[in-house]
């Protein structure tokens, strides 16, 4: 049974990690290297994330500087940023790409809060889906006589505690992101 709970924990951690990565990509009006991590650049037929092709640094709170290791990739990186859904416009001097992250309007902030709440709900649904699968496995084991009624209830409580732990973590990440969006 421990392996069932460990598998559930591992799957929930993966869902939480994915949620945190999605949150990091939401633009808050503050420059961040994580904004560019989801952008893939076509590099000799292979799609690569910008941080694997260049040195990416944040200067002040509104500027991102990208210095490609291979100068021939400047145009490809610039094109990938333009085509992304971030709404950022890069400028280049042929060697270095600079991005100015504009401040958010009040309307855009409200839209972003709605977006992150939707993302949090999707993460909660994913966690509850894992819980349901674990509960179904427990019911199956009880029905087949692999575990007793007492063990069934004990494991059921452990699965619920595990679920509550991850839901609480999602709420914490959501709260921090909302605060970040609204107070930039």
Task: Among 100, 131, 155, identify where a domain stops.
Answer: 100
Contact indicator for 12, 127 with CB cutoff of 8 Å: yes
Same domain, 94 and 160: no
Q: What is the CATH number of the domain that holds 92?
A: 3.30.1360.40
Under the banding of pLDDT at 50, 70 and 90, the label for residue 139 is: very high
pLDDT tens sequence across 143-166: 999 889 999 999 999 999 999 999
**pLDDT, the chain, mean:** 87
Q: Is the pLDDT of residue 35 over 90?
A: no
Average pLDDT over residues 48-63: 84
Q: In the chain, how many domains are there?
A: 2
Contact indicator for 127, 184 with CB cutoff of 8 Å: no
Same domain, 59 and 111: no
Give the CA radius of gyration of the chain.
22
> Which uninterrupted H or E stretch holds 6?
helix 2-25
Domain that holds residue 81: 33-100
Q: Is the pLDDT of residue 92 over 60?
A: yes
Residue 6 has a pLDDT of 93
Same domain, 95 and 118: no
Residue 124 token pair: 């909660």
Same domain, 70 and 95: yes
Positive or negative torsion for Cα 125, 131, 135, 138: positive
Same domain, 20 and 41: no
Same domain, 92 and 45: yes
């Amino acid at each position: 049974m421990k392996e069932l709970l460990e598998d559930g924990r591992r799957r929930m951690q993966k869902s939480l990690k994915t949620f945190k990565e999605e949150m990091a990509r939401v633009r808050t009006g503050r420059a961040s290297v994580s904004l560019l991590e989801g952008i893939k650049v076509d590099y000799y037929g292979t799609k690569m994330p910008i941080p694997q092709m260049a040195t990416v640094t944040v200067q002040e709170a509104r500027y991102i500087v990208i210095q490609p290791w291979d100068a021939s990739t400047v145009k490809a990186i610039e094109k990938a940023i333009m085509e992304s859904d971030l709404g950022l416009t890069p400028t280049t001097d042929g060697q270095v790409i600079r991005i100015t992250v504009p401040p958010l309007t009040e309307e855009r902030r409200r839209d972003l809060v709605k977006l992150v709440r939707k993302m949090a709900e999707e993460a909660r649904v994913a966690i509850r889906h894992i819980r349901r699968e674990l509960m179904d496995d427990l019911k199956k084991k009880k029905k087949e006589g692999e575990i007793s009624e007492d063990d069934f209830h004990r494991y059921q409580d452990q699965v619920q505690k595990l679920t509550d732990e991850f839901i609480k973590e999602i709420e914490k990440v959501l709260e921090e992101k909302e605060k970040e969006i609204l107070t930039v």
